[in-house]
């Protein structure tokens, strides 16, 4: 069974903290994505990566950065968390050179106080 | 960039009735249109997708139709069951080597009343 695993289901952080959200996939997929899900706003793409050490900005990259040092792992970094970054964060992956059939993780609900 | 509008935002139907969710897109370069279903507390999962060279696709009780001229596509669920209750997201984007980005609609919360 294919798996995209996000390290935390719930996370509570304070304003100004540096936050790391981790995602690991076991499908040998080349592409990995970070989405943010907010009620009434759907899924919005933050960053994606199509290869190790490669990254591309999505629609809402401000306030975020990413790291992909290994093929199976894609990290989302909030350099200085703010309250408007309270959200559900979803990681996803797909096979090479396609956006077909995204496999999503279970999500991390981040609260920034 | 691409803009995807999805309607309605909420939909309630009686068990056994049909449900229709509609999406419009803006970028004529988009040629791939998937639908994802997210049950409460769970991850989104692909339920059906369609490419622009096809006008309709069916999979048991669900079907998707595409009108490229009008830039809209729809999800049809027949004989709805309580387990169809979920949030449904449409999306649009390019398909081909090096295509990665999908733009999602804001979602439709479908409630099937037993």
Cα–Cα distance measured from residue B114 to residue B104, given in angstroms and rounded to the nearest whole number: 29
End-to-end Cα distance, chain A: 36
- H-type helices in chain A, by residue range? none
pLDDT in tens, A22-42: 999 998 998 999 999 999 899
Residues in B closer than 8 angstroms to A58, CB to CB, are 101
CB-based contact, A40 to chain B, within 8 Å: yes
Q: What value does the mean pLDDT take over residues B17-38?
A: 95
Q: What value does the mean pLDDT take over residues B102-111?
A: 95
The mean of the pLDDT values for chain B is: 94
**Number of separate helices (H) and strands (E) present in chain A:** 0, 11
End-to-end Cα distance, chain B: 41
Taking Cα atoms as reference points, which of A25, A24, A31 lies closest to residue A97? A31
CB pairs under 8 A between A and B: 66
Count CB-CB contacts under 10 A for residue B110. 21
pLDDT in tens, B44-74: 999 999 998 878 999 999 999 999 999 999 9
Give residues with Cβ within 8 angstroms of A57, minimum separation 6: A47
pLDDT-wise least confident of A51-55, A78-82, B86-90, B106-110:
A51-55
Q: Is the pLDDT of residue A2 over 70?
A: no
SS3 content of chain B, % helix, strand, coil (to 5): 5, 55, 45
Q: What is the pLDDT of residue A85?
A: 98
Q: What is the pLDDT of residue B101?
A: 80
Residue given tokens 């691409």 in the structure block = B2
Q: What is the pLDDT of residue B86?
A: 97
pLDDT in tens, A48-102: 998 898 999 999 999 999 999 999 999 999 999 999 999 999 999 988 667 788 9
Q: What value does the mean pLDDT take over residues B79-99?
A: 90
**CB within 8 Å: A97 and B98:** yes
């Amino acid at each position: 069974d294919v798996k995209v695993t996000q390290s935390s289901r719930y996370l509570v952080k304070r304003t100004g903290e540096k936050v790391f959200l981790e995602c690991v996939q076991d499908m040998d997929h080349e592409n990995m994505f970070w989405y943010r899900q907010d009620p009434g706003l759907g899924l919005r793409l933050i960053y994606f990566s199509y290869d190790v050490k490669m990254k591309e900005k999505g629609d809402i990259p401000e306030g975020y950065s990413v790291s992909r040092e290994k093929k199976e792992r894609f990290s989302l970094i909030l350099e200085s968390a703010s309250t408007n970054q309270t959200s559900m964060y979803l990681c996803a992956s797909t096979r090479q050179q396609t956006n077909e059939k995204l496999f999503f993780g279970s999500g991390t609900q981040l609260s920034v106080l | 960039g691409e803009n995807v509008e999805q309607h309605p935002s909420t939909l309630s139907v009686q068990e056994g009735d049909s449900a229709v969710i509609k999406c419009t897109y803006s970028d004529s370069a988009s040629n791939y249109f998937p639908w994802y279903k997210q049950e409460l507390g769970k991850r989104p999962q692909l339920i059906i997708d369609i490419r622009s060279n096809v006008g309709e696709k069916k999979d048991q009780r669900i079907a998707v139709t595409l009108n490229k001229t009008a830039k809209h596509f729809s999800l049809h669920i027949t004989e709805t069951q309580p387990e169809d209750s979920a949030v449904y997201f449409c999306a649009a984007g390019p398909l081909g080597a090096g295509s990665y980005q999908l733009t999602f609609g804001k979602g439709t919360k479908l409630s099937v009343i037993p």
